[in-house]
Amino acid sequence: MMPEQLLKRTGLLIRVNLKRDWAKLVIWIVALAGLFTAIAAKFDGIYGTQSAIETIVKTLKSPAMVSLFGAFTAKAPYTTAKIFATEMMVFMAIVMVIMNIMIAVAATRAEEDEGLLELVRSHAVGRLAPLMAAFIELTGLNAIVGLLFGAGLQLANMPGANTAGNWLIGAGLAAIGWMFGMLTLLLAQLADSASGTTMLAYAVFGVMYVARMSTDVSDPKTTWWVPFGWIEKLGIYQTNQWQPLLMMGLFGLICLVAAQRLNLRRDLGAGLLPTRQGRTTASPILRGPATLLWRRTRISLLVWVLGNLMLGASYASVFNTIGDLAKSNPMIKQLLGASALAAANRVIVKNFIAILAIVMVIVALIPAVQTMLKLVSDENKGYLHQLYATATSRWQVWASYTGLAMIEAAAVFFAGTFGMYATGAAMMTDPIKWLTYWHVLLAYFPAMLVMIAFASLLVGWAPKLRHLSWLWVFYGFFSLYLGSLIDLPKWAKQLTPLGFVNKVPMKAIDWTTNWWLLAITVLLLLVAAIGYRRRDLAQ
């Protein structure tokens, strides 16, 4: 077939997609550009003085910070702008990747799953047109976000910044996002559904993130082998390397071409990975809304549990390097003595665990909130219609989703923490005891419950606003992962319940807060249950 035939009416599809997605795109663009520019503008206030810069440089050079924010490659003289680039690139790249995976899945597989693409394709629309429309939408989105990043930095005008570096940051973040968008388009051809594509995309991203972390800590040169690590290789405000950009472009292009090839070859609604057959009869366990939901989510829960377990394990694999002061300063052992040194080392690792706890909490909240909000999307898709036609009460259905969401949060959080403990125990000369991790679990779980209960409340009373719970989770991640580095005020951190939790295991569990949080959870759940029982269901 002629190429023009394959691409026929791509332009029309782009317009339709924009019409469908504009609200989502505008929110992403405004939120990202606003957040980024605001932080840049504020940065001079936080790291304006030379002494503040020297202090943060020491922190950023420590292996714990390297594993979270990437290798510290800036050379003296250190400037505010260099600190900004070191702190922000990996974090912003994560956000860009998540945005691209979400938009790419929605623009390709989701529409195919709904059967819409069949009707579209029955018209005089080229076979590749839907894929190309998604490609152009993603390219435009990343370009706009990148441009706004660059413009925002120009506006913020940090000390030590220069025009080339500013635009390189914008271009670099746009390129890494775009690359993952293209990768998702490719993965969408392999999986046979939207959820399968999402899972595959996050799995690939997770592997790259962990690989980037361990190479950064052990040997930053090898980070070149990890595509996600290319974002650290830009040498911003120093040598200003444009070569990694080229590599990202090339990688994305290869993914796009491969996606096109596979798309031409496969059937609509099918993936290249085979779909397995189901069982002939229902298992005796499958008998009500709770077990039905369990049956539908168990595979994804397993993936999340294993994923967080591995994430925790890979973080813990650098505990030994991080908790070894003697390595960077051989004199310290004589100065402190062996036992004092061991204690100091433990403090460093515990400090690191306290930061990692946030990552584990957020990762555990994702499947939990997903399940909670599924109560609305299942309703909208009509899955619950027939369930309600049976002798099943609203309360039972609501309790099943809410309950499973909480169990998921607990299981995934536990898995991540256990991963840290097990690897730490195996690799450290002076391992951290399980009791320490147990305290982490106890400290954060009540705050997580409040966030899930809030999602449940939205589901019960304002299902249209349910996506606000994602905003809250995302804000929690932002305020605690990045908060202390950008000097976020206490009240801003306490906009989520996670901000009230003591820095366990550095400090003791604050039981008063825990009881409060549990009481709020119960209250929210009561109100949520009443709301869900009273409101109209989607027709």
d(CA 12, CA 484): 47
- From the CB of 15, what's the least distance to other proteins, in Å? 9
CA–CA distance, 100 with 183 (Å, rounded to integer): 10
Nearer to other proteins, 389 or 391 (CB): 389
Binds other proteins by CB under 8 A, chosen from 45, 58, 59, 123: 123
* Residue of 122, 283, 390, 429 that binds other proteins (CB under 8 A): 122
CB nearer to other proteins: pick between 25 and 71: 25
Which window, 59-67, 119-127, 147-155, 440-448, contacts other proteins (CB under 8 A)?
A: 119-127
According to the binding rule CB under 8 A, does residue 12 interact with other proteins? yes
CB of 17 to other proteins, least distance (A): 10
Q: Which residue's CB is nearer to other proteins, number 51 or number 539?
A: 539
Q: At what angle do helices 394-427 and 511-534 cross, to 10 degrees?
A: 150
In three-state secondary structure terms, 281 is coil
Q: Binding other proteins by CB under 8 A: which of 34, 48, 115, 337?
A: 115
Output 112 or 232, the one with its CB closest to other proteins. 112
The residue from 46, 65, 68, 125 that contacts other proteins (CB under 8 A) is 125
The dihedrals phi and psi of 533, each to the nearest 5 degrees, come to -75, -25
Q: Which is nearer to other proteins, 6 or 355 (CB)?
A: 6
Using CB under 8 A as the binding rule, the residues of this chain from 365 to 394 that contact other proteins are 380
Query: Is there a contact between 498 and 428 (Cβ–Cβ < 8 Å)?
Result: no
How far apart are alpha carbons 471 and 466 in whole angstroms? 10
Give me the amino acid identity at 297. T
Task: Report how many residues bind other proteins under the rule CB under 8 A.
Answer: 30
Which residue lies nearer to other proteins by CB, 123 or 295? Answer: 123
- Say whether residue 126 binds other proteins (CB under 8 A): yes
CB 130 within 8 A of CB 120: yes
By CB under 8 A, which span of 33-41, 73-81, 123-131, 351-359 interacts with other proteins?
A: 123-131
CA distances in angstroms from 193 to 130, 200, 341, 412, 535, listed in the order given:
16, 11, 53, 24, 31
Residue 40: how many CB atoms within 10 A of its CB? 25
CA 164 – CA 175 distance, rounded (Å): 16
Residue 252 token pair: 């994305």
Binding piece for other proteins, criterion CB under 8 A, among 87-95, 113-121, 213-221, 225-233: 113-121
**Given 18, 41, 57, 120, the residue binding other proteins (CB under 8 A):** 120
**Least distance CB 467 / other proteins (angstroms):** 14
Position 20 contacts other proteins (CB under 8 A)? yes
- Going 513 to 514 to 515 to 518, the CA torsion angle's sign is positive
> Which residues are within 8 A (CB) of 154 and not within 5 positions of it... i.e. 6 or more apart?
163, 166
Residue 392 beta carbon to other proteins: minimum distance, rounded to whole angstroms: 23
CB of 33 or CB of 259, closer to other proteins: 259
Sequence-ordered alpha helix ranges (H) in 47-128: 50-61, 63-69, 80-105, 111-113, 116-121
Quick check: helix, strand or coil at residue 57? helix
Return the residues of window 263-282 that contact other proteins according to CB under 8 A.
265, 267-268, 270, 274-275
Structure tokens at 528: 């949520």
CA distance 491 to 502: 14
Pick between residue 21 and residue 324 the one whose CB is nearest to other proteins: 21
Binding span for other proteins by CB under 8 A among 88-96, 108-116, 148-156, 499-507: 108-116
x/- map, 169-188, other proteins, by CB under 8 A: --------------------
C-beta separation of 85 from 169 below 8 A? yes
- Measure the CA–CA gap between 67 and 317, rounded to whole angstroms: 11
The site for other proteins (CB under 8 A) is made up of 1, 5-6, 8-9, 12, 16, 19-20, 114-116, 118-127, 265, 267-268, 270, 274-275, 380, 539
